[in-house]
Each structure stands twice: as structure tokens, then as C-alpha cells.
């Protein structure tokens, strides 16, 4: 009998309390789908260990965040369940009057919780499996590949993780329900509908002062955030902005109801029209009692929307121009010399680097000078057949630092020629004192030929400027406009032509920043003075040998290993902080970067950031919307007799439902509105200091975030209104 009664109650709950079940289904489905990402590897032909590591790393990060998500969902489910229990107290009291013991009522509640858990788990898991298939296609798009052998993927790990997590949540909910019902007194259960929450009445003048103060605190928070630029999170201004934003938002919601009541009540023509008096009091009452939860919802909305929109932006910052940043099959880098402690700042300067390297790494300097700094020579000698089979064409470029010449010779004229122009360089002052970086014309043209670009020509007294980093683009354009003359080894050079867009190496992003291209005679004069390269780059394109990119990458590693095996040893104070197997040597190879590895890592980073942004943003958005929905339904239930009184006094249903709609709209839109103000400030500052400087548009991510908010948050708002309307309509039909 108890099981049958529980089944009937569950069927009624599904019809009456759709928000609770929708939230459960969302939670289970999303939790399973995002924890199944690691199982999607079988859909793709992952021929490199790098690709597999990207999947594993993404799955690990999602797993770590799933712990936080589980606690959030557990709190949400418990919070939603409180509403159902509170709504049905009179029903439980009726059971006791009919002769049931508290234990029997608790058993019914336990059965209902188990049934709800089983149904939500079953349907949610099915929905999660379908959602995970959609994520598979999204994964393929993020990796820039196709699924040649699509198959339905079922993740056992995600299934059992979801099962254990939500089973634990439902056990806690069942215990909570059982204890709550067993401790209730019969008189309280029967008169539950007559019990209202106590609402504090605040002095309107105090609220007015606090409201104005909250706006001042928020303005201070925005000002500190704008000044910090969100460049460094350990900036004291960022900390002050965060604290002020939290405090200002809390004061805003604490004083909002009293401020609005004080203002609206003085507008008699507005306040006394229709049911506005009732509507304003209802809204004020709820905001006064729930200002803490509204504050928390506002903060979570801000975090959710910001994470989603900036997360998509960061994807483009890190991997948006990956093809342009990797025009070669691979780049081999020689660190050459970074100072006696492996730190470029430890060197006494470009003029002293030769003597420092001779003292600290004489064998490396001797080998480099014997080969005339030609990186390809020792590699060809070590594995001639493999080199000829693997490498189709190659070119080397050596970068030099010019002693007694700094970038201030370019920056100062650029500032004078472009007054008021934002050069968007946060470390401009440190760049001023940096020695000029130059490359030779013939080597530069060799690289351009390797990319299919036309060569450039320079006269003996000219130089050109190469730059493809967006962060220094404004400065580069200002330099070209000023066309300053520079002196290199006593030779005056004048700038000619526009900014040259040529990538010098394979890298995670475009990395040619304010490089001066000078005639070969200038480089020869530097070499005659004993100046050694600051670094050397050997860019290679693979031969058309019928091998896959992965096989050619492996062959290139074998070539380097033949020239300098891992156990060879070398200068142990080489490039600091690198874990690469060639990092112990300064020359000929310190690091190997392949375009395939860069593309794979970029795809993995895109995958991880996108999924984390979607996962966190979606869960927090659902949580905030569900909390507001449950609170609004709770108020509609508590105020049901008030609506019935209004109806008896002559108010038609249209007026009652219009008042209800206004309450729902205000309750949902006020925290969203303040959160949007915070988002506009934070994303605007981040766009100005980072995204715009990197050439990344924030329009698309913001539109996606707005669309997700509209669908999820707006959907909950619509469902809340109709559910609240159903509660009120049921009361009005009682006569």
C-alpha cells in the first residue's frame, strides 16, 4: 500500500513540480556527458601520443571539476527537495490524522525519494548518453578532424561515477526527508499553509543611504578593475576590486527592497494603480528575506557568464592562429648562450656573450664556430641517409643583438609621430632598454622562400621591420610611420617599406616581434666584432617521401639523437626550466618543435578550455536559475491564500496573473541585470588589455554566452511563471 501511494505521489509530482525533475535530469545528463570525454578516443585515429595525452589531460581536468560540480548539484537537489517537502506538509499531516505513524509517513517519503532517484538517473543517463554523442562531433570539430568510423560510445567509467555520485546525493536526501518528516508535529503540519516567513521591515531612509553607498562601492570596484587591467591576478587593485564588488553587491540587494518601496510609494499615480501595491510588497518581502541568496545568485551568474565568454576568447588567444604560427614542418632551435646561470639577464650584454660562452661552455662554442654556426651540418653528418630521406628543404636564420643600441631608438620617434595612440604594450618601459634584435637579409629571404613569400630588397643603408605579433602591431605601425634611423656598428640605417609579416619559427603563436632585417654586410660587421647569435633557428620542410607526418616527426628526432644522443652530456646550465631532452645543449639543438605537435596541442587546449567553460558555465547557470525558480515557487505556494483573497475581492484572473508575471520577471532579472553590469566591466577590461591586443574578437563568445543564458536562464524563468501560475490557478479554482 505504501509503495502504491508513493507511486501515485511521484506521478503527481512529475506533473506539478517540473522544475525539480528538469534540474535532476540536467544534472545527471551533463555530469555523465562531460565525464565521458575520455572514452571518445576510440572514435578518432589518434596516431600520436600527444593526441592521447590531450584527451587524458582534458578528462583529468573535467574529473577534478566534477568534484566541485557534484557538491553544487548535491546542494541544489537538497535545496529543491526542501520545497517539495514544505509544500506537502499538510498532506503529511493528513496521513497522520488518518492513523499512520510517523514511521509510515517517513517510509512513504523514502519510497518516493528512491523512485524519483531511479527515474531521474535512468532518464538522465539516457539523455547524457545522447548528449555525449553530440559532444563527440564537437570534439571532432575542435580537433579539426572527422570520425571515419563513428560508433555509439558508452563510457563505463562515466556511468559508474555518475551512479555513485548521485546515489550518494539521493541517500543524503532520503535521510534528510525521513528526519524532517519524523520530527514534525501534527499541528504544524496541518497549519503549514497558514505559516508565513517573518519579514523584516527596514527603515527606508537607511536603505536609501545604503543603496547609494552600494553604488559608490561598485563604482570603486569597477575603477580598480579598469586600472588593474586584469593583467596580473596578484595585483592589489584586482583584490580590492573583487572585495568591493562582493561587498557592493551584497549592500545593493540588502537595501534594494527598502529603496524601491520608499521611491515607489511616493509615486501615487503609479503605486495605487491596479495591483501594483500588492506586487511591490510581494517583491519587497521576498527580496528582504532572500537578499543573501540573490547576492549569491548574482555572483554565480557573473562567474558563469564570464567564464563562458572569456573561455571561448582564451581559446582564440592561445590557438586561434595556429596555422599561421607554424608555416614549417618543424623548427630546431639552438639557445646558443643565455648567461652563466642559464638566464639571459645574467649576461653582461651582447658584446660579452662570446667570452662568457668560451669560459663556461668552450666545447659548444668550438663546435659551433667550426661549423660556422650551421646547425644542419652536424645533423647531416650524423645521419646522412635519414636526413636526405626526411628533409626536403630547409633554411636557417640567426638572430643577433646589437650592442649599444636599444629599442628606445625606435619607440621614442614612434611616440612623437603618433601622439595619443595607444601602443598597447604593458612592458614598454622594459622594451626601451632591450638591445635591438637583427637578422640578415639573405637568411630572412630564405625563410620567406620556404613559406612561398616573395623576397625583399634592401640597399646598403636601409633596414626593414618584421612583426606579426598582434600585441606589438600598433607599435610596429607607429615605427613605420616615424621611419626612424638607427645606427648599427656605426652604420646609419633608414627604415623602408611596410611591416613584414613573416613567421621565423614554428611556435604556439605568431612570435616575430619588432625584428630588424638588415643588409648582410651589417651582420658581417657584427660577426667581425665577435658577436655571436642570440639564438639560431633551423626551419625544415619534410620531403615528399610517402611517410606520414608522425613518421617524419619520429625520423627528425632520430636525426637529432644521432648527432647528440641523450647520454652525450653537455652544458648543464643551458636553457633554464626546459624539460626537453635536448635542453642540456646550447648548440646545435636545444629544442625541437613540429607543426604537427603544435596543432595537436592547440586542438587539445581548445578541447580542454571549451569543455571546462561549457561545463562550469552551464552547471552554475542551471544552479542559479533553479534556485530562483524554487524560491519563486515557494513564494507562490506561501502566498496562495493571498491570491485567493484578491480574487474574492473582485480581482479577475488576468490581474492576478499579471502581478505574478511581474514578480517572476523582477526576481529573475534584477540579479541578472547586476551580474551583466559586472560582466560588461570585467570582459571589457579583459578585451582591452588582452583580447584586442592579441587580435581576438570577443563578439562571438559574448553572443554565445548570451544565447546560453537566454536559453537556460530564460527557459527556467518561463517554466517558473507557468508553474507558479498553475499553483495560483489551483487555489482560485477552489472557489
pLDDT at residue number 197? 47
User: Which pLDDT band holds residue 397 (cuts at 50, 70, 90)?
Assistant: very high
Q: What is the mean pLDDT of residues 483-494?
A: 87
Strand order in the sheet with 515-518: 485-488, 491-495, 462-466, 515-518, 435-440, 391-406, 535-542, 330-334, 591-594
Instruction: Provide the 8-state DSSP code for 506.
Output: -
pLDDT at residue number 692? 67
Q: What is the mean pLDDT of residues 690-716?
A: 77
Q: What is the mean pLDDT of residues 417-425?
A: 66
Alpha helix segments (H runs only) across 547-652: 549-563, 595-638, 640-648
Q: Cell numbers of 584, please?
A: 642540456
- 3-state SS, residue 290: coil
pLDDT at residue number 456? 93
Nearest to 440 by CA among 374, 496, 522, 351: 522
As a dihedral over the C-alpha atoms of residue 620, residue 626, residue 627, residue 628, rounded to 10 degrees, the angle is 110
Q: Which residue has the cell 540579479?
A: 671
Q: How far apart, in whole angstroms, are the C-alpha atoms of residue 304 and residue 614?
A: 9
Q: How far apart, in whole angstroms, are the C-alpha atoms of residue 99 and residue 646?
A: 36
Neighbour count for residue 189 (Cβ, 10 Å): 20
Question: Are 271 and 280 a contacting pair, CB within 8 Å?
Answer: yes
pLDDT at 512 over 80: yes
Q: What are the backbone dihedrals phi and psi of residue 330, each rounded to the nearest 5 degrees, phi first?
A: -160, 160
Q: How far apart, in whole angstroms, are the C-alpha atoms of residue 661 and residue 666?
A: 9
Q: What is the mean pLDDT of residues 537-565?
A: 91
Q: Cell numbers of 618, please?
A: 552551464
Mean model confidence pLDDT for the chain: 79
Question: Are 317 and 696 a contacting pair, CB within 8 Å?
Answer: yes
Q: How far apart, in whole angstroms, are the C-alpha atoms of residue 221 and residue 227?
A: 10
Helix (H) or strand (E) holding 305: helix 291-319
pLDDT at 569 over 70: no
Q: What is the mean pLDDT of residues 725-730?
A: 80
pLDDT at 198 over 60: no
Q: Which of 77-91, 308-322, 608-622, 656-670 has the lowest mean pLDDT?
A: 77-91
Burial bucket for residue 360 (CB in 10 Å: 0-12, 13-18, 19+): middle
Burial bucket for residue 456 (CB in 10 Å: 0-12, 13-18, 19+): middle
Question: Are 610 and 311 a contacting pair, CB within 8 Å?
Answer: yes
Q: Cα–Cα–Cα angle for 342, 345, 348, nearest 5°? A: 100
CA 581 to chain centroid, in Å, comes to 31
Question: Are 25 and 117 a contacting pair, CB within 8 Å?
Answer: no
Q: What is the mean pLDDT of residues 369-374?
A: 93
Question: Are 491 and 384 a contacting pair, CB within 8 Å?
Answer: no
Render the burial of 266-281: b for 16+ CB within 10 Å, e for the rest: eeeeeeeeebeebbbe
Q: Cα–Cα–Cα angle for 244, 250, 256, nearest 5°? A: 125
Instruction: Provide the 8-state DSSP code for 225.
Output: H
pLDDT at residue number 576? 47
Render 9-57 in DSSP notation, one character per residue.
HHHHHHHH-HHHHHHHHHHHHHHHHHHTGGGGGGGS---SHHHHHHHHH
pLDDT digits (tens, 9 = 90+) for 18-52: 666 777 787 888 888 888 876 765 555 544 555 56
Nearest to 86 by CA among 722, 633, 732, 625: 633
Domain boundaries defined on the chain: 1-195, 336-589
pLDDT at residue number 455? 93
pLDDT at residue number 146? 58
Q: Which residue has the cell 646550465?
A: 573
Give strand pairing partners of 535: 399
Pairing of strands 491-495, 462-466: parallel
Q: Cell numbers of 339, please?
A: 648567461
Sign of CA dihedral 469, 471, 472, 473: positive
pLDDT digits (tens, 9 = 90+) for 427-480: 566 788 888 999 999 999 999 999 989 999 999 999 999 998 877 888 888 899
Question: Are 44 and 143 a contacting pair, CB within 8 Å?
Answer: yes
pLDDT at residue number 27? 80
pLDDT at residue number 574? 52
Q: Cα–Cα–Cα angle for 493, 498, 503, nearest 5°? A: 95
In terms of average pLDDT, the best of 35-39, 485-489, 515-519 is: 515-519
Q: Cell numbers of 716, please?
A: 527556467
pLDDT digits (tens, 9 = 90+) for 99-134: 676 667 677 777 777 777 777 788 888 888 888 877
452 versus 631: the higher-pLDDT residue is 452
Question: Are 692 and 424 a contacting pair, CB within 8 Å?
Answer: yes
Nearest to 695 by CA among 524, 474, 483: 474
pLDDT at residue number 55? 67
Neighbour count for residue 139 (Cβ, 10 Å): 24
pLDDT digits (tens, 9 = 90+) for 55-69: 677 777 777 778 877
Question: Are 533 and 373 a contacting pair, CB within 8 Å?
Answer: yes
pLDDT at 669 over 60: yes
pLDDT at residue number 536? 94
pLDDT digits (tens, 9 = 90+) for 266-301: 676 666 677 777 887 787 777 777 788 888 889 888
Give strand pairing partners of 518: 440
Q: How far apart, in whole angstroms, are the C-alpha atoms of residue 617 and residue 709?
A: 9
**Own/partner pairs for 239-245, CB < 8 Å, 24+ apart?**
244/217, 244/218, 244/220, 245/218, 245/221, 245/678
Question: Are 551 and 413 a contacting pair, CB within 8 Å?
Answer: no
pLDDT at residue number 384? 93
Across 6-145, the runs of DSSP E, i.e. the strands, are none
Q: How far apart, in whole angstroms, are the C-alpha atoms of residue 86 and residue 634?
A: 9
Helix (H) or strand (E) holding 52: helix 49-87
Render 158-200 in DSSP notation, one character per residue.
HHHHHHHHHHHHHHHHHHHHHHHHHH--HHHHHTGGG-----P
Q: How far apart, in whole angstroms, are the C-alpha atoms of residue 189 and residue 90?
A: 5
523 versus 694: the higher-pLDDT residue is 523
Q: Cell numbers of 331, please?
A: 623548427
Question: Are 123 and 25 a contacting pair, CB within 8 Å?
Answer: yes
**217 to each of 221, 237, 263, how far by Cα in Å?**
6, 14, 21
Q: How far apart, in whole angstroms, are the C-alpha atoms of residue 546 and residue 21?
A: 57
CA 132 to chain centroid, in Å, comes to 21
Q: Cell numbers of 276, please?
A: 501594483
As a dihedral over the C-alpha atoms of residue 697, residue 699, residue 704, residue 706, rounded to 10 degrees, the angle is 140
Q: Cell numbers of 187, please?
A: 499541528
Pairing of strands 591-594, 435-440: unpaired
Q: What is the mean pLDDT of residues 152-173?
A: 80
Amino acid at each position: 500500500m505504501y509503495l502504491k501511494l508513493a507511486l501515485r505521489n511521484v506521478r503527481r509530482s512529475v506533473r506539478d513540480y517540473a522544475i525539480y525533475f528538469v534540474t535532476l535530469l540536467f544534472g545527471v545528463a551533463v555530469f555523465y556527458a562531460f565525464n565521458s570525454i575520455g572514452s571518445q578516443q576510440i572514435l578518432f585515429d589518434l596516431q600520436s601520443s600527444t593526441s592521447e595525452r590531450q584527451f587524458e589531460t582534458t578528462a583529468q581536468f573535467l574529473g577534478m571539476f566534477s568534484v566541485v560540480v557534484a557538491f553544487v548539484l548535491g546542494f541544489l537537489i537538497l535545496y529543491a527537495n526542501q520545497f517539495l517537502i514544505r509544500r506537502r506538509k499538510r498532506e503529511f499531516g493528513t496521513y497522520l490524522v488518518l492513523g499512520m505513524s510517523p514511521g509510515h509517513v517517513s517510509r512513504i517519503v523514502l519510497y518516493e525519494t528512491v523512485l524519483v532517484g531511479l527515474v531521474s538517473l535512468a532518464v538522465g543517463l539516457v539523455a547524457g548518453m545522447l548528449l555525449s554523442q553530440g559532444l563527440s562531433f564537437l570534439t571532432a570539430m575542435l580537433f579539426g578532424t572527422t570520425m571515419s568510423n563513428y560508433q555509439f560510445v558508452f563510457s563505463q567509467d562515466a556511468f559508474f561515477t555518475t551512479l555513485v555520485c548521485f546515489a550518494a546525493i539521493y541517500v543524503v536526501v532520503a535521510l534528510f526527508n525521513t528526519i524532517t518528516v519524523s520530527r514534525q508535529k501534527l499541528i504544524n503540519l496541518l497549519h503549514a499553509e497558514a505559516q508565513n516567513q517573518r519579514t523584516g521591515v527596514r527603515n527606508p531612509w537607511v536603505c536609501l543611504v545604503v543603496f547609494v553607498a552600494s553604488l559608490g562601492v561598485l563604482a570603486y570596484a569597477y575603477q580598480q578593475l579598469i586600472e588593474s587591467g586584469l593583467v596580473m591576478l596578484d595585483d592589489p587593485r584586482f583584490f580590492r576590486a573583487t572585495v568591493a564588488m562582493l561587498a557592493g553587491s551584497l549592500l545593493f540587494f540588502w537595501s534594494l527592497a527598502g529603496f524601491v518601496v520608499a521611491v515607489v510609494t511616493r509615486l501615487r499615480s503609479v503605486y495605487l494603480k491596479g495591483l501594483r501595491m500588492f506586487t511591490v510588497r510581494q517583491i519587497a518581502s521576498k527580496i528582504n528575506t532572500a537578499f543573501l541568496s540573490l547576492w549569491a545568485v548574482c555572483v554565480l551568474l557573473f562567474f558563469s557568464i564570464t567564464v563562458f565568454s572569456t573561455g571561448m576568447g582564451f581559446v582564440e588567444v592561445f590557438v586561434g592562429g595556429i596555422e599561421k604560427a607554424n608555416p614549417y614542418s618543424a623548427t630546431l632551435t639552438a639557445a646558443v648562450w643565455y648567461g652563466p646561470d642559464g638566464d639571459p639577464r645574467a649576461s653582461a650584454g651582447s658584446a660579452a656573450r662570446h667570452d662568457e660562452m668560451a669560459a663556461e661552455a668552450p666545447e659548444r662554442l668550438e663546435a659551433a664556430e667550426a661549423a660556422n654556426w650551421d646547425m644542419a651540418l652536424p645533423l647531416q653528418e650524423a645521419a646522412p641517409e635519414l636526413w636526405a630521406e626526411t628533409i626536403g628543404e630547409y633554411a636557417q636564420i640567426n638572430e643577433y643583438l646589437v650592442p649599444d643600441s636599444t629599442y628606445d631608438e625606435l619607440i621614442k620617434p614612434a611616440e612623437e609621430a603618433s601622439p595619443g595612440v595607444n601602443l598597447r604594450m604593458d612592458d614598454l618601459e622594459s622594451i626601451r632598454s632591450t638591445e635591438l634584435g637583427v637578422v640578415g637579409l639573405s637568411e630572412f629571404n630564405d625563410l620567406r622562400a620556404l613559406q612561398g613569400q616573395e623576397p625583399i630588397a634592401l640597399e646598403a643603408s636601409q633596414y626593414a621591420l618584421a612583426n606579426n605579433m598582434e600585441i606589438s602591431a600598433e607599435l610596429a605601425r607607429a615605427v613605420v610611420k616615424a621611419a626612424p634611423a638607427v645606427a648599427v656598428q656605426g652604420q646609419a640605417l633608414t627604415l623602408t617599406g611596410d611591416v613584414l609579416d613573416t613567421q621565423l619559427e614554428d611556435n604556439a603563436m605568431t612570435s616575430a616581434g619588432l625584428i630588424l632585417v638588415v643588409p648582410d654586410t651589417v651582420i658581417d660587421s657584427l660577426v667581425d666584432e665577435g658577436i655571436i647569435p642570440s639564438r639560431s633557428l633551423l626551419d625544415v620542410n619534410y620531403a615528399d617521401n610517402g611517410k606520414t607526418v608522425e613518421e617524419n616527426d619520429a625520423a627528425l628526432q632520430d636525426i637529432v639523437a644521432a648527432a647528440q644522443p641523450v647520454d652525450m652530456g653537455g652544458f648543464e646550465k643551458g636553457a633554464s626550466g626546459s624539460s626537453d631532452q635536448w635542453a642540456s645543449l646550447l648548440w646545435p639543438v636545444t629544442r625541437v618543435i613540429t607543426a604537427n605537435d603544435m596543432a595537436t596541442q592547440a586542438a587539445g587546449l581548445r578541447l580542454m578550455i571549451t569543455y571546462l567553460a561549457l561545463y562550469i558555465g552551464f552547471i552554475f547557470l542551471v544552479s542559479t536559475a533553479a534556485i530562483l525558480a524554487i524560491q519563486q515557487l515557494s513564494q507562490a505556494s506561501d502566498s496562495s491564500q493571498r491570491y485567493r483573497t484578491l480574487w474574492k475581492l473582485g480581482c479577475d484572473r488576468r490581474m492576478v496573473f499579471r502581478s505574478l508575471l511581474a514578480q517572476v520577471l523582477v526576481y529573475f532579472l534584477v540579479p541578472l541585470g547586476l551580474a551583466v553590469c559586472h560582466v560588461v566591466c570585467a570582459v571589457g577590461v579583459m578585451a582591452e588589455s588582452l583580447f584586442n591586443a592579441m587580435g581576438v574578437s570577443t563578439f562571438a563568445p559574448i553572443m554565445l554566452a548570451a544565447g546560453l543564458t537566454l536559453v537556460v536562464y530564460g527557459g527556467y524563468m518561463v517554466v517558473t511563471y507557468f508553474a507558479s501560475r498553475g499553483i495560483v490557478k489551483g487555489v482560485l479554482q477552489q472557489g
